[in-house]
Amino acid sequence: MDLGKVLLSLAVALGLCGDSGGDSPLPPRGRRTHAIPGAAAALAFVWLGQAAAMAQQAPMTFRAAILESPECGTRCPEVIVADGVIEEDTPRAFLDFTRQVAASPRLHSVILLNSPGGNVVASMELGTAFRELNAAAIVAGYASVGGRTGAVSGRCLSACVYALIGATRRVVPRTSVVGLHRMSVVEGLDGPEPGRRTLADPELVAALASYAARMGVDPALIRRAESLTPGVLHFLSRAEIVHWRLAQPRM
């Protein structure tokens, strides 16, 4: 079964096709920002992953797309595609998008999440917005391949994991990948010590662990990320994803 059919089966299971009584369409959104208690000031400068590499990639954008399949015909659900680097203004852009599309009767609170990482605070704020929408997040992309357009394998790396954590239901298809990085920031060429890497202090780690716990994810996932060698990306196994409650075992 291809990924598109897998995601469609998931949509059916979540009650998103037709009038099956599942999640309701996106509600209207007020203009809000989401503060992360005790973390914003300390984490504002911290990025996960390789900032130089991510600088060459586009900021995260949001759009609506249909999970098309003959199995659901005209009742195929419309979902949100979130693709790109999570930057400081990404949470606001997400809230703006949800207000614009709130009136769509086919658009439900399901997000295809595909990102190499980004800003830590912004990722937690985005995850908080996901939770307020009671959204399901699926690590997947949306693209045209071989003349067909639809869901494709995705990635959620570094800070993206903190956005994923916020979703009410989290799904990692077997063909998609999730990866952890240790928090760090590398000083640029114009700094007093070019190339110097600064790691997160215990207060930052505690703030992230507290956020994970509030969202129902084992804080040990944060400790595992912070135990990694700086700059090393650790791809999570299926067993780790389930063990730390990052995704439901049945998925």
What pLDDT is recorded for position 164? 97
Please state which CATH class domain 3-18+65-243 belongs to.
alpha beta
pLDDT band at 50 (very low <50, low <70, confident <90, very high): very low
227's tokens: 């135990």
Residue 237 CB partners (closer than 8 Å, separation 6+): none
Tell me the CA end-to-end span of the chain in Å, nearest whole number: 14
Tell me which of 67 and 101 has the higher pLDDT: 101
| 153-157: Cβ within 8 A, 24+ apart | 153/3, 153/177, 154/112, 154/113, 154/114, 155/114, 155/115, 155/116, 155/179, 156/113, 156/114, 156/115, 157/49, 157/115, 157/116, 157/117, 157/181, 157/233
Whole-model pTM over 0.85: no
User: Is residue 176 predicted with pLDDT exceeding 80?
Assistant: yes
80 alpha-carbon distance from chain centroid = 12
The rounded mean pLDDT for the chain is: 77
Return the number of other C-beta atoms located less than 10 Å from residue 203's C-beta: 11
User: Percent of the chain having pLDDT more than 90?
Assistant: 45
Q: d(Cα 29, Cα 99) in Å, to the nearest integer?
A: 5
86's tokens: 């999570």
Distances (CA, A) of 226 to 84, 199, 236: 24, 9, 14
